Chains A and B, each alone.
Chain A
Amino acid sequence: AQSVSQHNHHVILSEAASLELGCNYSYGGTVNLFWYVQYPGQHLQLLLKYFSGDPLVKGIKGFEAEFIKSKFSFNLRKPSVQWSDTAEYFCAVNAGNSGGYQKVTFGIGTKLQVIP
């Protein structure tokens, strides 16, 4: 069964600091990987996704993530965070086989608090 681990449950940063949120998954086959963001009081929104090709994926609002297959990781990064990045971030994975239903597994989330 696939699983997702997010190592940091609560991160506090000052504005302009660099961000890296860890995500590791366990699944032996081809995977699709996602990062979602949930701003306070709002629903989850897709931040970026990886299906194939360039392992460095760029998303909205200056976020990027790197897929490292050998490490089963898909860490989220941003060079300089802003107060508006305060939110909860969820990593998710599903098997990459085409056709049919493939379960998406979410991590438990990382709460990011950016201090002005």
Chain B
Amino acid sequence: NAGVTQTPKFRVLKTGQSMTLLCAQDMNHEYMYWYRQDPGMGLRLIHYSVGEGTTAKGEVPDGYNVSRLKKQNFLLGLESAAPSQTSVYFCASSFGQGARGYGYTFGSGTRLTVV
């Protein structure tokens, strides 16, 4: 089925370890996003991309890096994990924005625990 696929679904890291979350979409969407979801805080944008080879910072970018080498993939990296990065991470994609926006398609999420 077409959609957004995130891997892994669960991960436990030790403080200081690094990891990469992978997001893949097969809808030919230009825009891709990484959000984190924390209780009582809703969804907060970490980084986003408006096209292949482009990335930009969102609301809470510190401690994360991203890359969009291929249009269908958007990678989120944690270089040195901290307990404050314990969260559920969602990737999303969209066809366009503004008047051409059709809403987001979300992946199923990655539950990350940093101990």
A residues in contact (CB < 8 Å) with B: 9, 32, 34, 36, 42-46, 49, 51, 90, 94-104, 106-109
State which residues 11-52 of B face A: CB under 8 Å. 31, 40-43, 45, 48, 50
Binding site of A, secondary structure by majority: helix, strand, loop or mixed?
loop
Q: With A and B bound together, what is the CA distance between A101 and B31 in angstroms?
A: 9
Q: With A and B bound together, what is the CA distance between A104 and B108 in angstroms?
A: 19
Contact across chains for B98 and A108 when beta carbons are under 8 A apart: no
For chain B, give the interface size range.
Answer: 20 to 34
- Please name the residue on chain B nearest to A34 by beta carbon: B103
In the complex, the number of residue pairs spanning A and B with C-beta atoms less than 8 Å apart equals 63
Known contacts A106-B42, A109-B42: does B107 contact A100 (CB below 8 Å)? no
A94-B101, A107-B42 known; 12 new pairs, CB 8 Å cut-off, are A32-B99, A36-B106, A43-B90, A43-B107, A49-B102, A49-B103, A100-B97, A100-B98, A101-B56, A103-B45, A104-B104, A108-B41
Shortest B30–chain A CB gap in Å is 10
Contact across chains for A42 and B98 when beta carbons are under 8 A apart: no
Shortest B99–chain A CB gap in Å is 4
- Please name the residue on chain B nearest to A45 by beta carbon: B106
